[in-house]
Amino acid sequence: MKPFPAESLHPIYLYLSEEQWEEKLQKSRKLASPCVLCGRRCQAPRFILSENSGTATRPTKGICETQDKASVSSVGPHFGEEPPLVGKRGSGTIFFTGCNLKCVFCQNYDIAHHHRGQEVSDEELGQLMLRVQELGCHNVNLVSPTHVVPNIIAAVRLAARQGFRIPLVYNTGGYDSLETIKLLEGVVDIYMPDMKYGESTPARDYSDAVNYPEINFAAVREMHRQVGDLIIGENNVAIRGLLVRHLVLPGGMAGTKKVMEFLANNISRNTYVNIMAQYRPYYKAIGHPQLGRKIKNTEYRQALQIAAEAGLTRVQAL
C-alpha cells in the first residue's frame, strides 16, 4: 500500500492500487473457503475458487447462513448511531442479513437470524454505497459485515472507480478473526466493534461463542494498530479511528471490568467508548432467568464508574 498521510482527510481505501485491490479480493475469498472469516472458523467452502473437471461444484452456507453473495435488509441515513458518525446528515447504514453470533438477546433477530433481506451482487452492493453517498451521508456504515467481507472488498473497489469518496465504517459484533482484520488494513477508515463480553462463560451461554473474549480482544488490538484513536474532523464528524461499543447486561454478565481495563491498559485511555444502557429482553431472552429484565440504573452507573476507575477519558454515556 502507498504511504498513507496521517493528516489526510481522504478515505484510506483511495490509496490502494489495482494490484492491491486484486490481492485483497483473492485473499478474502480464500479466507471464506474454507471459511475462517470469524472466530468460529467453520471451514465452510462458501466461495468456489476453482472448478474440478467434470464435477459440478456449488458454494455452501457457513454457520452465518450465507454463501457467496451478500444479503441486505435496509439501506439509508441513520440518526441513532453515535454522534461522531451521525453529524447533521446521518450515517449511511447498510444492514446485512445473517450473523456469525447467536446472541439470545439479539435486537435485530429478524435480520440476523431470520434473514429478512434481499440478496445482492457485488456490483449492486457497490451501487448501494454510491447511493448512500448521493444522499449526503457522512459515511457508509456496514452493519454486521464480518461474514461478507469478500463482497464488501469487491463492492468498495467497484464503487471507488465510480467516485465513492466517503469514510467506510466497519460496524461489527466483534467476533472477527485476526486474519480478516489484518486483510482490511487500508480499506476501513473507522472500526466500530462491539465488545460484548469480558468473560468466556456468558459468551458461551448467551452467544454460543466461548472464545469470544480472546478473539475480540485480539481483533480490537489490531483495529487500533491500523487506525488509532478516533479522530474527529470538521463539524464534529469522525473521519478515522476506533470507536468501541459495550452493552451493559443484567447482573454484570458483560464483564465490564475486564473490557474497560483491557482498553485502558492495552489499547488507549483515549479510546472512544460508548457504554450503552439500552438493553431490553428480545428474542430468546424474553423470560430468560438471567437476561429477562432491563438493566437497573445502579448497574449502569456502576459500569460508568468502572470505566472511570480504569482511566478511560472518552466515554459516551447513554
262 pLDDT more than 70:
yes
Nearest CA to 151 out of 108, 216, 94 is that of 94
Residue pLDDT, tens place only, 188-214: 999 999 999 999 999 999 999 999 999
For residue 82 the three cell numbers come to 453515535
Residue 1, pLDDT > 70, answer no
**Whole-number Å distance between alpha carbons of 127 and 29:** 21
Residue 236 has a pLDDT of 93
- Which of 35, 44, 142, 42 is CA-nearest to residue 97? 142
173: amino acid identity, one letter: G
- Tell me what pLDDT residue 54 has: 46
Average pLDDT, the chain: 94
CA distances for 253 relative to 68, 100, 128, 162, 301, angstroms: 35, 20, 37, 46, 15
Q: How far apart are CA 174 and CA 196, in angstroms?
A: 8
CA-to-CA distance for 216 and 224, rounded, in angstroms?
A: 12
The pLDDT-based confidence of 177 (bands split at 50, 70, 90) is: very high
Separation CA 311–CA 244 (nearest Å): 15
Whether residue 234 contacts residue 283, with contact meaning beta carbons closer than 8 Å, is answered with no
Choice between 8 and 302, residue whose per-residue pLDDT is larger: 302
DSSP string across 139-172: -EEEES-GGGHHHHHHHHHHHHHTT--S-EEEEE
What is the pTM for the complete model shown? 0.94
pLDDT digits (tens, 9 = 90+) for 90-101: 999 999 999 999
Strand partners, 209: none
Q: Per-residue pLDDT tens for 269-288?
A: 999 999 999 999 999 999 99
Residue 53's pLDDT band (cuts 50, 70, 90): very low
Of the pLDDT bands very low, low, confident and very high (cuts 50, 70, 90), residue 52 is low
Q: Which domains does the chain have, with CATH numbers?
A: 12-36+69-317 (3.20.20.70)
Closest alpha carbon to 275 in 308, 303, 238, 250: 303
Is 42 a residue whose pLDDT tops 70? yes
Query: What pLDDT, on the 0 to 100 scale, is given for residue 50?
Result: 64
Mean pLDDT of 32-42: 96
Q: How many CA atoms lie within 13 A of 212 on its CB side?
A: 29
pLDDT digits (tens, 9 = 90+) for 99-146: 999 999 999 999 988 889 999 999 999 999 999 999 999 999 999 999
